[in-house]
A and B are shown apart, each in its own frame.
Chain A
């Protein structure tokens, strides 16, 4: 009982390295420099330069360019092709977000059961995700072959549904849905895997006690599984939205924006304006609109879906 709490000894020497809040000795700043340099060179600088040239009449060749204010944006508002592309982009995005994630959820629920083929089915449904979109596009271009005895039309004929045969990519009102379906076919497995990861996190005890209380499959899905899947929904909706808004490869490979302009999206319009028509200033204005669109939709979705997560 003799010891009296001694005042803490003053540090004998100032620490050589500063201790940071995480309790770790912070590594020196140059750890971040190479990454930052490459990121700035490849993404930050070009994006800023791109945003700036949206206000010029730059043709893309040489340095000749002058400031034209909001002219490019005004032109965009009167450009039927660009407005049509904006409409197509939105339609495609909504279709992809809803159907891809709905299908992904159904597939995840199906293979998250005791069925014997569950592991094989997971591999099958996921496989298209790892194949290049350009190759998947060509595969589906054959499936959509307009000839009555090839691809999908041949199947319809064989099933006695010959009256449903279509010119899937050649019909202007149908083409965009054909492209959307290709994207959904390729990416449904991606949604499935994220939903599966979410389903793994739902405690079994909740389902068991709900079953004891007499809750059926539907009630348990509505009141237990669905709310707890909220984070997986957030990620899936975000990813498919950005993917839909910036869709490019599949369209170039399957329809090149046609027939007419029926499947042009903002991405294909800005590409054509830049590399086909040499209107770089106008093209970057379209790109800037696209970027703002993506940013705005992302923010709204994060805010809305995150609020759903916390109340769930």
Chain B
């Protein structure tokens, strides 16, 4: 209930801020660790770095090859999200407008994919990717993410398109536009809000995924950020300062993007899941 700012509100404010401080403790531990030298890590683990040293960051950046990992992650994420938006919106347009058994049946078929755990198909898919010669390639990863994220994408788009009136496209079609033209120039621009949601949810998922790129890209030189970080942390496991610096560096890009876009990200998450 949003009434004025009363003494009770002040108490609540204190409680919430205290909660946030406790919540942020692991982040404080990590960031300060990254700026300390080994001597200080051993002696005052909770203190602020004194003097702060940024040396670990350069070493971590080099040893984890984070530069190329960032490029790999960006390439895979951007391509997969574009493919998801194009394929997902086109098929959802068909499913939303095609009433009757075929449209409904296909829609249900896509929905099944939302609850199907990927573990069930993990091994046959690994074989398939290997047989197609796509192990260790960007194309294999893009194909994988497009397929695995399509059910959710189609679900979001179909619900949105059903709420759009059909009159706009009918007018365009009667004026002689082809279906593809009507989709490109009439429907797709109307989908902007849900496309934003689809973009954010899929990008966060694909960027952060760990297991699949470990399986498909391990040792190929095309590893994504989480895979490189995994290998890096396991290699330097006892050098806390270095490991912390690597983790901070790897998390910074996504956190910066999140802070810039946080309003859309949070809205996209909640509206996307409200369906």
Given A117-B13, A126-B266, A131-B254: A38 and B87 within 8 A (CB)? yes
- Distance in angstroms from A186 CB to nearest chain B CB is 10
- Digitize A7-49: 1 where CB-to-B-CB distance is under 8 Å, 0 elsewhere: 0000000000100111111111101101110110111111111
Say yes or no for B53: interface residue by CB 8 A criterion: no
- Digitize A43-66: 1 where CB-to-B-CB distance is under 8 Å, 0 elsewhere: 111111111010000001000000
Q: How large is the interface on A (under 10, 10 to 19, 20 to 34, 35 or more residues)?
A: 35 or more
For A149, the chain B residues whose CB sits under 8 A away are: 45
* Cα separation A117 to B83 with both chains bound (whole Å): 39
| B119/A291 in contact, CB under 8 A | yes
For B148, the chain A residues whose CB sits under 8 A away are: 42-43
* Cα separation A284 to B96 with both chains bound (whole Å): 35
* Cα separation A130 to B274 with both chains bound (whole Å): 19
Instruction: Please name the residue on chain A nearest to B172 by beta carbon.
Output: A25
Segment touching A, from B15-23, B55-63, B191-199:
B15-23
- Digitize B51-74: 1 where CB-to-A-CB distance is under 8 Å, 0 elsewhere: 000000000000000000000000
Contact for A35 among B91, B167, B250, CB less than 8 A: B91
For B204, the chain A residues whose CB sits under 8 A away are: 129-130
Contact for B23 among A115, A125, A129, A270, CB less than 8 A: A125
Count how many chain B residues have C-beta atoms less than 8 Å from C-beta atoms of the other chain. 100
Q: Which residues 135-178 in A have Cβ within 8 Å of B in the complex?
A: 135, 138-140, 142-143, 149-151, 154-155, 158
* Cα separation A131 to B229 with both chains bound (whole Å): 13
Contact for B128 among A41, A53, A107, A204, CB less than 8 A: A41
Say yes or no for A87: interface residue by CB 8 A criterion: no
Contact for A132 among B91, B162, B207, CB less than 8 A: B207
Say yes or no for A92: interface residue by CB 8 A criterion: no
* Cα separation A46 to B212 with both chains bound (whole Å): 15
Say yes or no for B150: interface residue by CB 8 A criterion: yes
- Distance in angstroms from B245 CB to nearest chain A CB is 12
- Distance in angstroms from B193 CB to nearest chain A CB is 14
Segment touching B, from A72-80, A93-101, A246-254, A303-311:
A246-254
Say yes or no for B183: interface residue by CB 8 A criterion: yes
| B124/A45 in contact, CB under 8 A | yes
| A113/B166 in contact, CB under 8 A | no
Say yes or no for A124: interface residue by CB 8 A criterion: yes
- Distance in angstroms from B116 CB to nearest chain A CB is 6
| B116/A25 in contact, CB under 8 A | no
- Distance in angstroms from A270 CB to nearest chain B CB is 6
For B135, the chain A residues whose CB sits under 8 A away are: none
| A116/B94 in contact, CB under 8 A | no
| B94/A126 in contact, CB under 8 A | no
Contact for A20 among B9, B97, B117, B128, CB less than 8 A: B97
Instruction: Please name the residue on chain B nearest to A211 by beta carbon.
Output: B1
| A122/B179 in contact, CB under 8 A | no
| B273/A194 in contact, CB under 8 A | yes
| B179/A121 in contact, CB under 8 A | no
* Residue positions of B touching A, CB distance < 8 A: 1-5, 9, 12-13, 15-17, 19-20, 23-27, 29-30, 33, 45-46, 83, 87-88, 90-91, 93-100, 102, 106, 109-110, 113, 115-125, 128, 143-144, 146-148, 150-151, 154, 162, 165-167, 169-170, 173, 179, 183, 204, 207-211, 225-226, 229-230, 233, 240, 243-244, 247, 250-251, 254-255, 258-259, 262, 265-266, 269-271, 273-275
